[in-house]
Amino acid sequence: MTPRSTSGRAAAADRLARADRSRTFPPLPTRSGARGLFAESWWGSAWLDALETTALDSARLARGRTYARDGHVDTINVTPGRIVATVRGSRPRPYSAEIRLRTLTDQEWDGLLDAIAADPDRLTALLAKSLPPALADSEVRLLPGPGDLVPRCSCPDHGRPCKHAAALCFQVARLLDTDPFVLLLMRGRGERELLDALSLRNTALTARETRETRETRETRHHVPADGRTAAYRRGSGPGTGPGPGPGPGVEPPAARSAHGSPTVTGDAPGEQPAAAEASSRGIPARAALADRPRPPLPPPLPVPPQPGRPPALPDGDGLPFDPATLEFLAADAAARAHACVSAATPGPGAGRTAPHSPFPDLPAWEDAIRLTATAHPTAGLTATTRALYRDLAEATGRTPTDVARAVAAWRQGGPEGLALLDTPWNPPAGDFDRARSALLAADVPSLRPRHNHLTDPDRGIQLRFGHDHRWYPYESEPGADDWWPAGPADADPVGALSTLVAR
C-alpha cells in the first residue's frame, strides 16, 4: 500500500468521523392541542426536568413551550456538547439559540461501553431506540442534572433560559423521544462510532470466552501439550513397549476396522470432532442472505408545486459570511433543484426520458444577473435591491444603471432578453417583414427598421425581434437614446407594442 493511499484512507475515515459527530434535523411539525406532557419518553421527561429545575422564570418556560409547539424552532444541529438552532420570535430575523452540555471523558466512555457490552439487552434496547434505565442510572451519568444545561441566545433577553433557548430545549426533548443516540452524541460520540466500538468489544469478549472454553475442555480431557488424547496413549501401560506409541493389544487411532473404514477416535463412540468443528464455523452472511426476498422500492415522492424557501438566518457579529447572501444562494439552489426534478419527472402517460438540466452554463456576468433577477422578482427598487445593484456593479466593473437595465432584460425574456439588450443582429426575411405589414394594418405609426429593431424615436417606442421569434418592447424618453425593456415579450408584434402605446 502506498503512502498516498494510506493518507487517502485516513482522510476519508476522518471525514466520516466528523460527519458522524454532527447531525442536522429539519424543523419538527407543530403540536396542535398538546397541552400535557411535552415529552413522551421517560428520558425525554428527564431532559425537561433538568431544564425546569434550572429555569429562573416559569413564564419564559411557558412562552418557550408555546414557541416550540407552534413551530418557531427551525433546523436543529447537534454536535458533541452543543445544540444550535434558529428560533423565530417577534422580529423579522430569527435568533440563534444554543444549549451546551458537558461531554464525557475517555475514561467515562470506556466505562459506559463496557457496561453496554456486558449486557446484550442494553445494546438491543439502544438499537430499538430506547434508553434502558439501568444504563442511564449507571456510574456514568448520561442524562443532564440541575445546572448541566447551559443556554445561550443572541436575543437581548438575559433570562436563563430565555424563551428562545427554552423552545429549543423542548424540541430537543422530542428528538430524544425518537432516538436516544442524540443524547449520546451530545455527550461526545456519534452512533456509528459507538456501534463500531461496541463491535470491537464484543469481538474481544467472544474471543476471550472461546479461549476460556477451549482451555476448560482441554483440562477436562487431559489433552497434553503434543495434542494427543489419553486414548491414544493407552498403549503405554503394562504389556506394551516403551515410547508414546500404542502397545500390541491396543488399536491405534489410524487403524482400520473390519470393514476397512478408519476408526474414529473421540470422547465418545461415534463422535466426529472434525465435522463438528466445521459446522460451527457457519457460512458467509452474503450466502445466507442471497435468496432473501427484497421488497420493491417505494415510488418517488411527487414534485411540490413550488420550490421551498430556506429559513431566515439570524444576524450576528463577526460572521465570515453575510446571512442575506447565504439565504439568497440557498433560495436559488432550491429553485434550480426544483426545476431539474420537474424536468426529469415524466408527465402522465409519458415514458422516462434522459434527465437534463434546464439551466445551461452561463458566463459569470449572465449568471450574476440571473441570480439578481430571480432573487428579487419584483420590479420595484428598494433599499435592498439598490445595495445589491451597487455591490454587483462594483464586482463586475459595471455601473448600477447597467445592472438595473440588465436585470429588467432578464425578467423580460431570460437569456434571450439579456442578449437582445446589447447585441443587435440581422434577421432573415420573413417574420420581420410580415411584422411591419401587420403593424401598418393595425394603424400603428411607421417604425424605422434597423437590424432587428423597429423604432419610433419621436415617441420613444421600440420593438426588438429575438432569435426565439418573439418581439421585445422597449421604451425611452422621446429624442433620447436610452432604451429600457418595458413589458413582456410577445410573438405578436401588435400585442407587444400595445403595451407601449397604451402608456
Share of the chain above pLDDT 90, in %: 23
Residues β-bridged to residue 97: 85, 153
471 SS3 class? strand
Direct distance between the N- and C-terminal alpha carbons of the chain, in angstroms, rounded to an integer? 76
Give the mean pLDDT of 139-145: 88
Cα 438 to Cα 333, 360, 432, 448, 488: the distances in Å are 43, 35, 10, 14, 19
Of 52-61, 399-408, 443-452, which has the strongest mean pLDDT?
399-408
Write down how long the chain is.
503
Predicted confidence at residue 80, as pLDDT, reads 93
Pick the range with the lowest mean pLDDT from 248-252, 311-315, 432-436.
Answer: 248-252
pLDDT digits (tens, 9 = 90+) for 449-474: 899 999 988 888 899 999 999 999 99
Predicted confidence at residue 258, as pLDDT, reads 42
- pLDDT-derived band at 407, boundaries 50, 70, 90: very high
Question: Which cell goes with 459?
Answer: 415617441
Give the mean pLDDT of 165-180: 93
Which of the two residues, 414 and 259, has the higher pLDDT score? 414
Helices and strands (DSSP H and E) totals, the chain = 17, 10
Of 14-18, 217-221, 448-452, which has the strongest mean pLDDT?
448-452
Mean pLDDT of the chain: 79
Predicted confidence at residue 244, as pLDDT, reads 47
Burial grade of 459 (CB within 10 A; 0-12, 13-18, 19 or more):
middle
- pLDDT-derived band at 316, boundaries 50, 70, 90: low
Do 42 and 133 touch, CB atoms closer than 8 A? Answer: yes
Cα 107 from chain centre: 32
Give the mean pLDDT of 118-146: 87
Pick the range with the lowest mean pLDDT from 161-170, 290-299, 377-386.
Answer: 377-386
How far apart are the C-alpha atoms of 501 and 503, rounded to whole Å? 5
Which of the two residues, 295 and 194, has the higher pLDDT score? 194
Helix (H) or strand (E) holding 1: none
Say which residues have a Cβ less than 8 Å from residue 181's Cβ, sequence separation at least 6: 126, 129, 191, 194
pLDDT digits (tens, 9 = 90+) for 96-113: 999 999 999 999 998 898
How far apart are the C-alpha atoms of 141 and 144, rounded to whole Å? 8
- pLDDT-derived band at 306, boundaries 50, 70, 90: confident
pLDDT digits (tens, 9 = 90+) for 238-252: 444 444 444 444 444
Dihedral sign, Cα of residue 61, residue 62, residue 67, residue 71: positive
Asked whether residue 170 carries a pLDDT value surpassing 90, the answer given is yes
Predicted confidence at residue 101, as pLDDT, reads 93
Predicted confidence at residue 441, as pLDDT, reads 79
Asked whether residue 233 carries a pLDDT value surpassing 50, the answer given is no
Which of the two residues, 223 and 384, has the higher pLDDT score? 384
Query: Does the model's pTM come out above 0.85?
Result: no
Neighbour count for residue 324 (Cβ, 10 Å): 15
Predicted confidence at residue 408, as pLDDT, reads 92
